């Protein structure tokens, strides 16, 4: 049984996502410029000073604006600070998606903030600070926003997924591509496959530059929620392998950790 959530100012919250992601991105760029060491977490993924600094900025902004909405953030979870009952509305935050890309200094990393309601990503922002590009999506559609070096907005345009062509453009993970991904893509007529890091893959689908993003291999909900929200706002969808929309808030899973995603395929406009 689904109950009605209290009214929330989605446009105002989306604006907060944007300004907060930019602020976090500016701090990431400051650390990126001077350089920093990294450590390995228990799952062998890297974490840096930039991850923690960006998460602190985002956590403070969200909790100040909406103290009653739980925040599920990657580094807090990694540190053992797991929220209790989430309810039907919560945030998913990845303060620096693509830390491997950050460490290797290729620029393909993002700041991700999403709002989940009844398991669906309804608002999201994905900001790539090195590229100066921010994707944002909600009920009013999706936009691509250009950000200057000082963090100011310099341009804004509506984006949408394109209708699937006869020959697809695929996107795949730069750091985590698997043989299963290649085997899946062999089922389709694929003209090209572009490798890119972090949740930028969702952005390429959302702005009509690519059509399919299959992911076979472990991801966590904070890796995908913001990009998925942008993609859905642009007319696309992310499906599990059984053809159902990817949902969020997975806990007490028998075969994996809390908030771990199943394999999925993100599509442009079907």
- At residue 106, the pLDDT reads 87
CATH code, domain carrying 204: 3.40.190.80
Is 74 annotated in a binding site? The answer is yes
* Paired tokens of 13: 């919250």
Model pLDDT for residues 150-205, shown as the tens digit of each residue:
999 999 999 999 999 999 999 987 666 788 998 999 999 999 999 888 899 999 99
- At residue 178, the pLDDT reads 81
- At residue 141, the pLDDT reads 98
pLDDT band at 2 (very low <50, low <70, confident <90, very high): low
Which of the residue ranges 30-34, 78-82, 128-132, 262-266 would you say has the lowest mean pLDDT?
Answer: 78-82
Query: What's the structural domain count of the chain?
Result: 2
Is 98 annotated in a binding site? The answer is yes
Percent of the chain with pLDDT over 90: 78
In a domain, 139, yes or no: yes
Same domain, residue pair 122 and 221: no
Is 68 annotated in a binding site? The answer is no
- At residue 208, the pLDDT reads 98
Q: Which of 103, 136, 158 is at the close of a domain?
A: 158
Percent of the chain with pLDDT over 70: 97
Same domain, residue pair 203 and 152: no
Q: Are strands 120-128 and 133-138 parallel, antiparallel or unpaired?
A: antiparallel
Residue 1 has pLDDT above 60, yes or no: no
User: If DSSP codes are grouped into helix, strand and coil, which group holds residue 113?
Assistant: strand
Q: Which of 158, 189, 222 is at the close of a domain?
A: 158
- What phi and psi values does residue 95 have, to the nearest 5 degrees? -70, -25
Residue 44 has pLDDT above 70, yes or no: no
Same domain, residue pair 20 and 154: yes
Is 87 annotated in a binding site? The answer is no
CATH code, domain carrying 118: 3.30.540.10
Is 205 annotated in a binding site? The answer is no
In a domain, 3, yes or no: no
E-only strand ranges, the chain: 38-40, 46-48, 71-73, 89-97, 110-117, 120-128, 133-138, 141-147, 153-159, 168-173, 190-196, 212-215, 237-240, 264-267
Mean pLDDT of 241-254: 96
Domain that holds residue 126: 10-158
Same domain, residue pair 173 and 141: no
Instruction: Collect all residues with Cβ–Cβ distance below 8 Å to 60 and sequence separation of at least 6.
Output: none
Average pLDDT, the chain: 93
Is 223 annotated in a binding site? The answer is yes
Instruction: Collect all residues with Cβ–Cβ distance below 8 Å to 6 and sequence separation of at least 6.
Output: none
Same domain, residue pair 178 and 120: no
In a domain, 1, yes or no: no
Specify which of 1-5, 109-113, 174-178, 254-258 reaches the highest per-range mean pLDDT.
109-113
Same domain, residue pair 77 and 18: yes
In a domain, 5, yes or no: no
């Amino acid at each position: 049984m689904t109950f009605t959530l209290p009214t929330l100012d989605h446009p105002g919250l989306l604006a907060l996502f944007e300004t907060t992601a930019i602020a976090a991105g500016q701090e990431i760029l400051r650390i990126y410029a001077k350089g920093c060491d990294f450590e390995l977490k228990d799952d062998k993924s890297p974490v840096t000073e930039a991850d923690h600094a960006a998460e602190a900025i985002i956590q403070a902004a969200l909790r100040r604006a909406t103290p009653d909405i739980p925040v599920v953030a990657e580094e807090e979870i990694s540190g053992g600070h797991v929220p209790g009952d989430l309810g039907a509305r919560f945030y998913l935050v990845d303060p620096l998606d693509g830390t491997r890309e950050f460490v290797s200094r290729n620029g393909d990393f993002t700041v991700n903030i999403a709002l989940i309601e009844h398991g669906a990503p309804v608002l999201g922002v994905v900001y790539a600070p090195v590229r100066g590009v921010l994707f944002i999506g909600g009920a009013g559609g999706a936009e691509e926003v250009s950000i200057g070096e000082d963090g100011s907005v310099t341009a804004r345009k509506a984006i949408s997924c394109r209708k699937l062509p006869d020959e697809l453009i695929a996107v795949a993970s730069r750091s985590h591509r698997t043989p299963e991904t290649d085997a899946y893509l062999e089922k389709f007529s694929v003209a090209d496959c572009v490798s890119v890091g972090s949740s930028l893959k969702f952005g390429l689908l959302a702005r009509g530059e690519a059509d399919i993003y299959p992911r076979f291999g472990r991801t966590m909900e904070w890796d995908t929620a913001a990009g998925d929200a942008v993609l859905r706002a642009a007319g696309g969808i992310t499906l599990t392998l059984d053809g159902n929309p990817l949902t969020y808030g997975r806990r007490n899973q028998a075969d994996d950790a809390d908030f771990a995603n199943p394999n999925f395929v993100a599509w442009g406009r079907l």
